[in-house]
Amino acid sequence: MKTPRINIINLGMKNAFFTLLPAILLLSCSGDKKPKEEAPSLFPVNSFILSQVAHVDTSLYSIRKIEPRKDGGNDTTYFQREQFRSLAREFLDLPDLTRDKFEGRYTKESRFDEMLNRLIITMLPVNPREEEIQREEVLIQPDPSGDRVTSIIIDTYMSNRDSSVQKRLLWQVDESFQVAIIKQLKAQPETTSTYRVVWNEPEPQYTEEENKENE
């Protein structure tokens, strides 16, 4: 009876194949795996506005809050610089989109507006119904000596079963800010309130007749 011969060459090739198989599968899987897209780096709106508030806190500006009246005039109230942070609370209490928990929840687009001569950076939520901030827009003026942020626009929206609140906030860098709030309560008419806070704009010069109308 003959002893069966074992083909050493074939056996070696089979062993080599099974040894290389895990490496081949690993390379195959890594080749199919798409690189993870990095979340866009959002403009630090909160930090920028906080720096503006800190500047006003140490300044000698005349701070005025201007509220329109129903008769077309304005009510103007003067505030101390120590009260400015409280006046800017609508901005300071907003969620900070640069925090880790917001990663991937907002997109960023940039475009240049030739008429305004501004670079406009717009940040929008991926799922608007799940976010308070509906839009953040930063306007930047290009300049050879250094680009300058000129305005920041923020739209917010919150609602529940009984009410909804929409806010439109405008920050004019180094000059003023404006707040418009639209409220809708259940079974009640919609209400709108607006006001401006000014600290680095020249006070308007009224005629005697205009002063009487504003009284």
Task: Return the pLDDT at 202.
Answer: 65
Q: How far apart are CA 79 and CA 39, in angstroms?
A: 41
- Could you tell me which residues are beta bridge partners of residue 111? 120
89-138 pLDDT per residue, tens: 999 999 999 999 999 999 999 999 999 999 999 999 999 999 999 999 99
- For residues 181 and 196, the answer to whether their CB atoms sit within 8 Å is no
Indicate the pTM of the whole model. Answer: 0.77
Q: Give me 107's structure tokens.
A: 């997109």
Q: Where are the domains of the chain?
A: 45-214
Q: How far apart are CA 111 and CA 122, in angstroms?
A: 9
137-193 pLDDT per residue, tens: 999 999 999 999 999 999 999 999 899 999 999 999 999 999 999 999 988 899 999
